[in-house]
Amino acid sequence: MNFENILVEQANALATITINRPKKLNALNKATIEELHNAFKILEEDTTVKVIIIIGSGEKAFVAGADISEFAHFSVKEGGMLAKKGQEILFDFVENLSTPVIAAINGFALGGGLELAMACHFRLASDNAKMGLPEVSLGVIPGYGGTQRLPQLVGKGKAMELIMTAGMISAEEAKEAGLVNHVTSQEELLPLAEKIASKIMRNSSVAISAAIKSVNDNFKDGVNGFESEITEFGNCFGTEDFKEGTTAFLEKRKPEFPGK
């Protein structure tokens, strides 16, 4: 896969996407959003890929925000379309992937950068990371799902404070608030992500996909998450992974899941 703004590496069942715009602190412009969509789509369709890690290039930023110069002149209609298309092709797209996506936040994750990290299935951060949604300081609000996902992760009150003050929080504060799962050094961030990914890859990719859908459905309007869980639980009984997992358990050996 050849892209201008991102790098994609694959080692066995693990794929790593690096947002590679270091001079712009990896800011999300239209082209980068399109490339990320295409990369995630290709990796999702590759059945050999079991986990995806996304990280920013360099040591300063995961993604320092959106490229403001691209939309500073937009009209009301254009602004609405910007948010709608972005959510559809990247942020909602990532959240609903059946392949687990880990965000490795290696520096600033602001605005669209934090929104991208929140769309991932969970987050790790280096101890130098800073996170925030500063959009109201520009006279606008988060438009890539920030007003929805941040309250889900940290609670309504904390989300309101972060959004209204346009402030940044440290990695440790983010961990305390439940925004990130782990904090480690810059040097150990990617190895930690890879270690967690290796644990995920030992398990049934079919079951993990079902679990992602069930968890996500709990946060969707008009969808009963408990009903989704019942359906997905039942569907698992018809998979080869279920047969292998239960057989391996009864035979007291490690399972070798076919991913079907």
User: What is the token pair recorded at 97?
Assistant: 């992937």
Task: Return the residue matching tokens 């305390």.
Answer: 176
- Among 35, 44, 135, 188, the active-site one is 135
**Active-site annotation holds for 188:** no
Backbone phi, psi, residue 183, to 5°: -125, 135
- What angle, 0 to 180 degrees and rounded to 10, lies between the N-to-C axes of helices 112-119 and 146-154? 60
- Among 115, 173, 176, 244, the active-site one is 115
**Active-site annotation holds for 135:** yes
Task: Return the residue matching tokens 């869980």.
Answer: 229
Single-letter code of the amino acid located at 253: R
- What angle, 0 to 180 degrees and rounded to 10, lies between the N-to-C axes of helices 205-217 and 225-236? 170
User: What is the token pair recorded at 49?
Assistant: 């890929």
Rounded-to-integer distance, Cα 214 and Cα 218, Å: 7
**Which residues are the active-site residues?**
115, 135
